[in-house]
Chain A
């Protein structure tokens, strides 16, 4: 879907460094999500936002932070407290909050440790 843009495509983090992954959508969707994908393990929910100025922790929020100041944007910061950040990160959105409708995904950001 061209409606969700993630950047950068590849990102490298040094020890002790915070890095921010960008996610922008032009679908006018209220809800946005961040997932972490590791090999052989499905999609694990990090944070979600039901509506602008709101966000909630998902299943694996430790070491991550988010903000939702604009409807279109939901950036994810991987902090130095996340000791194993190497993974593929996917941002998604849906028209409204909840598990009763499809989610649309971005192309992902692959984060690695230097």
Chain B
């Protein structure tokens, strides 16, 4: 099956700095990579996703990059703000429907004001 590893487990940055969270996956057939943000005690919410036919996707201060050859993808947050503080999860899946999304272990991001 699929295995997703996520690093780092915790990340502390100063407000205004950039933050990068990295994930690697094991199954080369995976072709869908969403990122979720979970604030304390709340539900995970989808913030951005990418499919394997593109290498990068941006949405305002958030971007995701994908390297299919190396089987890793990253979340980039620029100009971080205190409200970006949360746990971020990456996931990998296949649109052929053979199994559900496989999630990484999460990264706790702390943005210091």
| Interface presence of A72 (CB below 8 A) | no
| A108-B43 contact, Cβ under 8 Å, with A41-B105, A99-B30, A100-B31 | yes
Question: Which chain B residue lies CB-closest to A102?
Answer: B46
Interface residues of B in 34-59 (CB under 8 A from A): 34, 36, 41-46, 49
Contact in complex: B89, A43 (CB < 8 Å): yes
Task: Indicate whether A64 reaches chain B with its CB closer than 8 angstroms.
Answer: no
State whether the Cβ of A101 lies closer than 8 Å to any Cβ in chain B: yes
Please name all residues of chain B whose beta carbon is closer than 8 Å to the beta carbon of A35 when the two chains form the complex.
Answer: 103
In the complex, A102 Cα to B41 Cα: how many Å? Answer: 21
Complex formed: what's the CA distance from A96 to B105 in Å?
25
| Interface residue ranges of A59-103 to B (CB < 8 Å) | 90, 96-103
Contact with A along B74-113 (1 / 0, CB 8 A): 0000000000000001011111111111111110000000
Closest chain A residue to B6, Cβ basis: A42
Nearest B-chain residue to A4, judged by Cβ: B43
Which listed residue, A99, A101, A106, touches B43 by the CB 8 Å rule?
A: A106
Contact between A98 and B97, CB atoms less than 8 A apart: yes
Chain B residues lying within 8 Å of A100, measured Cβ to Cβ, are: 31-32, 93-97
A–B complex contacts, Cβ < 8 Å, 17 sampled: A1-B43, A35-B103, A40-B106, A41-B105, A42-B6, A42-B104, A90-B44, A96-B97, A98-B95, A98-B98, A99-B30, A99-B32, A99-B93, A99-B102, A102-B46, A105-B36, A108-B42
